[in-house]
Amino acid sequence: MATDRRPEYFKGSQLRVGIIGLGYVGLPLGLRFAEAGHRVTGFDTDPAKVEKLNRGQTYIQHIPQNKIQQFVQSKHFAATSDFSRLAEVDAILICVPTPLDQRREPDLSYVEQTAQSIRPHLQRGQLVVLESTTYPGTTEELVLPVLEESGMKCPIAHGPDNEQIATDFFLAFSPEREDPGNKQYGLAQIPKVVGGVNPPSGRAAVSLYAQIVSRVVPVSSTRVAEMVKLLENTFRFCTLLLLLWGI
């Protein structure tokens, strides 16, 4: 396994990609990386989903079973609940739920739990990307401190002066903007917004996603990327309300 990964490493072929959370967002994302020729390991806490996937079965209506079977058979996709296997991958993409709690506030316990599952297995030069929908600040304030408990550092630093800053691992945020089941605009056609905790992290994440989508839009920080998703959801919500009210 490569231990000296630089941002450009993620432009390479046959990367090992780990996806945590194999739901509506994580499963199609994993299959897209498999389709692009990478080796994908999906991680989920639900053993029933893991078993189904490894048998080549689907549990999401619009994801065809034959696609899963094809990549399981070619060994481009496998699922597991063994989080120690996170140490084997080049990039880890977090796609766990962020539901609203009883007070209508985002419940980030799944994201925090996931960061804690990654920490003991985090490797130097690994890229970690949060994709779950959340409020601006989550990647730097919640995920980063947990991962840095590993002893490795990923300094928060923005702007051109920090292009070459040293970092032990890469950390970024890239919101999932998929519209599940939309036949006209699939994952590959929807531009991917990407922001890093520092410039090398941003470059690493841009290199990775450029392999599976037609357009990547780099932004200056994780906070900007987090805000993009929030603005987009707010815009959609207001538009739907106006339509409902017949305005």
Site residues for ligand NAD per CB under 6 A: 20-26, 43-46, 49, 95-98, 110, 113-114, 132-133, 176, 178, 180
CB-count exposure of residue 54 (10 Å: 0-12, 13-18, 19+): middle
Query: Shortest distance, CB of residue 23 to ligand NAD, whole angstroms?
Result: 2
Query: Shortest distance, CB of residue 166 to ligand NAD, whole angstroms?
Result: 30
Question: Nearest to ligand NAD by Cβ — which residue?
Answer: 23
* Two tokens, residue 181: 């089941």
Q: Given the complex with ligand NAD, which of 21 and 199 has the nearer CB atom?
A: 21
Q: Given the complex with ligand NAD, which of 134 and 167 has the nearer CB atom?
A: 134
Q: Given the complex with ligand NAD, which of 97 and 155 has the nearer CB atom?
A: 97
* Angle between helix 47-54 and helix 65-73 axes, rounded to 10 deg: 80
Q: DSSP state, 182?
A: -
Q: How far apart are CA 30 and CA 22, in angstroms?
A: 8
* HSE, side-chain direction, 13 A CA sphere, residue 165: 22
Query: Shortest distance, CB of residue 119 to ligand NAD, whole angstroms?
Result: 13
Query: Shortest distance, CB of residue 121 to ligand NAD, whole angstroms?
Result: 13
Query: Shortest distance, CB of residue 13 to ligand NAD, whole angstroms?
Result: 27
Q: Given the complex with ligand NAD, which of 45 and 70 has the nearer CB atom?
A: 45
Q: Are 110 and 144 in contact (CB under 8 A)?
A: no
Name every residue whose Cβ is closer than 8 Å to that of residue 226 and which is 6 or more positions away in sequence: 134, 135, 136, 137, 138, 139, 173, 175, 195
Q: Given the complex with ligand NAD, which of 57 and 113 has the nearer CB atom?
A: 113
